[in-house]
Structure 1
Amino acid sequence: MDRNTSQGPAAALYPPIDPFDQRMVDVGDGHRLYVEQCGNPDGLPVVVLHGGPGGGCSPMMRRFFDPAIYRVVLFDQRGCGRSRPHASVRDNTTWHLVADIEHIRNLLAIDRWAVFGGSWGATLSLIYGITHPDRTARLILRGVFLMEQRELNWFYGGGAGQFWPDQWNRFTSLIPPEEHDDLIAAYKRRLFDTPAHEQVRYARAWASWENALASVRSQGQSGEPNGEYARAFARLENHYFSNAGFLEHDGWIRQNLHRLTGVPTVIVQGRYDMICPPLSAQLLASALDAATLHMIPFAGHALSEPGISEQLVRSLDRIAQTRTDTLRFDD
């Protein structure tokens, strides 16, 4: 199918498509997840893991895949998007999400699939792959986040703030100076221990800080995020970051990368990513035996960055070209 030939972030993408399947899936613990499928029902299966935690899926995410070749599975993780209950952190951990991915795979009768994720979605992709390498045909990762304390220190401890002092001041100004030594903890108190309308105020500040830095072309004007979206996004991110991603220790992902030996991995990273600096992508690529790293020269963090979009589509098309005879991941 021909791609969009217009200019701008969508230039490299396939045309918009609608899902051929949409459903709410009960995964237990009181959680129901929104799940959709699009593309070719008999095609190469790929699951899309969105960022955040708490970001939810968007129609744009469907458009990276040739719909004649790929069977694309998207879902909103616990507590966000169209999944319910909204903004809930109860029974909501990394290991619940890994179990949810397996629940969906089994429900859809998929043996092995590719796993596509960016930012937190890349984190979750790696954790899922490490936990279920036999079900992971390959990984396609963007904007690598390894869920390490040094990364949280960079973004919430003032590192990125040295490049964006105006936006950093807006983010920190809601918190008394005596609490600036641990802004994640300070925001946690306000996102969980205040009335809902107060939570929205702090949630918007949390989301705006991240959104403002997403694109290399950003001028810091991210706009005011929707209150309902911001509350889920901020509460879930804060919940996961306060608990170090629910991993056993710092550096858990890198320590367990040997379990991904032989799993083909594509990494697409913006050279000027202010949210997830390129060091993590470089460390990951160096530790994997079957990884290809594409460092995009003039790009930041966002999935919509033109150079990032183009390379992701190019990589997915290359995978598709090797599978047009069987439309299966059987190697």
Structure 2
Amino acid sequence: MTDQHSASHSRRPVHSPYPDIEPYDYGYMPTDGKHQIYYEQSGNPEGIPVVVVHGGPGGGTSPNLRCYFNPELYRIILFDQRGCGRSRPHASQDISLEDNTTWHLIADMEALREKLEVDKWVVFGGSWGSTLSLAYAIKHTDRVSALILRGIFLVRRSELEWFYQEGCSQIYPDLWENYLAPIPENERHDLMSAYFKRLHGDDYAAKLNCALAWAGWEGNTLSIEGPPETATKFAEPEFAIAFARIESWYFHNKGFFDSDNWILENVHALKDVPGWIVQGRYDVVTPMQTAWELHKAWPEARFNVVNKAGHSSSDIGILRALVAAADDAAALLTV
């Protein structure tokens, strides 16, 4: 396997994704409650540990999240956050989300790090994954060797209003009509509350209808190239219900942060942590204003604005920038 990877790397264009690989280890980690967290490891068991923090919240991992890392240099750790992906129980079921918060997820990350006997790891996350990565790093700075972030999202009210109430609606008015459709006109002044009530209610038909509209809105606005092929998963009922329920739960609870600006207020803790911020200029899901504010508050991190790119990590400029950041981090950490 090593010889095959070596040969493919020699022909690999600069900053293109690494070849597909399969995990060498996978399993479930129990928590103190009902949740069992799915995790997997791939790449080099003796390499630089990197934990990949997926988006959503509630999005789950996918095999393509391994492709940013040189498998000869990195020990690549993926896990599904509570309620989604292959973790159990799945939030498409009628389960309470009371024990699914930012702080539970951070505790899960720490428990996984200890289970896998990792001292420090690179933390890699995009969108909601950037939120959770930053919060984890602020709380456990001594366990983070570097941060690589994409599509910065801080769960602030202004960011949520932009995407779920008014703002992005003016860029995609055609798609917005589909998002509006499940909600009566007299409730559209507060769309997030109207969706929350239905997504966490007892009417399954209303729940499914709202979940598909909520998930479809996000899936179809990710890329400046138009709806990506991966948007089809947002039309799968099981995925859509879990995704929409978990997202609306976190947004209703303000990300479980003590203040609207908690991350920026505490990001000074990361001044000595090597960091890379990758942001699409035309990201309409998590607009560049937030990434710019993080850059100003954390100037030590490398800041890369990718023109002709949106929110999707599969937009070619974003993909190449993330591969380059991972390569740079590996070079820095192996000196």
CA–CA separation in structure 1 for the residues paired with 2:247 and 2:331: 37
Label 1:228 to 1:310 Cα distance change in 2 as closer, same or farther (>3 A): same
Q: Secondary structure at the match of 1:209?
A: helix
**Alignment match, 1:135:** 143
CA–CA separation in structure 2 for the residues paired with 1:133 and 1:228: 36
Shift of 1:182: 1.1
Q: Is the 8 A contact 1:273 1:299 kept in 2?
A: yes
Label 1:3 to 1:206 Cα distance change in 2 as closer, same or farther (>3 A): farther
1:37 to 33, 37, 41: 41
Q: Secondary structure at the match of 1:155?
A: helix
CA–CA separation in structure 1 for the residues paired with 2:204 and 2:137: 36
**Alignment match, 2:25:** 21
CA–CA separation in structure 1 for the residues paired with 2:260 and 2:333: 38
Q: Is the 8 A contact 1:3 1:13 kept in 2?
A: no
The code of the aligned residue for 1:279 comes to Q
**1:275 pairs with 2:275:** no
Q: Is the 8 A contact 1:203 1:235 kept in 2?
A: yes
CA–CA separation in structure 2 for the residues paired with 1:254 and 1:104: 26
Q: Is the 8 A contact 2:219 2:227 kept in 1?
A: no
**Alignment match, 2:124:** 116
The code of the aligned residue for 1:187 comes to Y
**Alignment match, 1:285:** 295
Label 1:165 to 1:22 Cα distance change in 2 as closer, same or farther (>3 A): same
Label 1:160 to 1:173 Cα distance change in 2 as closer, same or farther (>3 A): same
2:59 to 32, 35, 55: 55
CA–CA separation in structure 1 for the residues paired with 2:240 and 2:43: 30
Shift of 1:199: 1.6
Shift of 1:108: 0.7
The code of the aligned residue for 1:174 comes to P
Shift of 1:4: 10
CA–CA separation in structure 2 for the residues paired with 1:4 and 1:141: 27
1:266 to 267, 271, 276: 276
TM-score computed with the length of structure 2 as normaliser: 0.92
Label 1:5 to 1:173 Cα distance change in 2 as closer, same or farther (>3 A): farther
Shift of 1:322: 3.3
Shift of 1:162: 0.4
Alignment of 1:139-158 (within 5 A): 139-158=147-166
Runs of 4+ in 1 over 2 A off after TM superposition: 1-7, 194-198, 219-224, 321-325
Shift of 1:57: 0.2
**Alignment match, 1:328:** none
Q: Is the 8 A contact 1:3 1:12 kept in 2?
A: no
1:317 to 318, 321, 327: 327
Shift of 1:220: 9.2
Residues paired across the two proteins, number: 322
Alignment of 1:156-195 (within 5 A): 156-195=164-203
The code of the aligned residue for 1:77 comes to Q
**Alignment match, 2:3:** none
CA–CA separation in structure 1 for the residues paired with 2:279 and 2:228: 21
Unpaired segments of 5 or more residues in structure 1? 326-331
**Alignment match, 1:211:** 219
The code of the aligned residue for 1:18 comes to E
The code of the aligned residue for 1:287 comes to A
Q: Is the 8 A contact 1:214 1:301 kept in 2?
A: yes
1:253 to 253, 256, 263: 263
**Alignment match, 2:308:** 298
Identical columns (%)? 47
**Alignment match, 1:226:** 236
Query: Greater CA deviation, 71-80 or 283-292?
Result: 283-292
Shift of 1:197: 3.9
Shift of 1:321: 2.4
CA–CA separation in structure 2 for the residues paired with 1:231 and 1:3: 40
Label 1:144 to 1:5 Cα distance change in 2 as closer, same or farther (>3 A): farther
Q: Is the 8 A contact 1:4 1:12 kept in 2?
A: no
- Which structure carries more helix by proportion? 2
CA–CA separation in structure 2 for the residues paired with 1:127 and 1:190: 29
Q: Secondary structure at the match of 2:321?
A: helix
Q: Secondary structure at the match of 1:51?
A: coil
Query: Greater CA deviation, 99-108 or 289-298?
Result: 289-298
Q: Is the 8 A contact 1:216 1:272 kept in 2?
A: yes
Unpaired segments of 5 or more residues in structure 2? 1-5
CA–CA separation in structure 2 for the residues paired with 1:185 and 1:5: 52
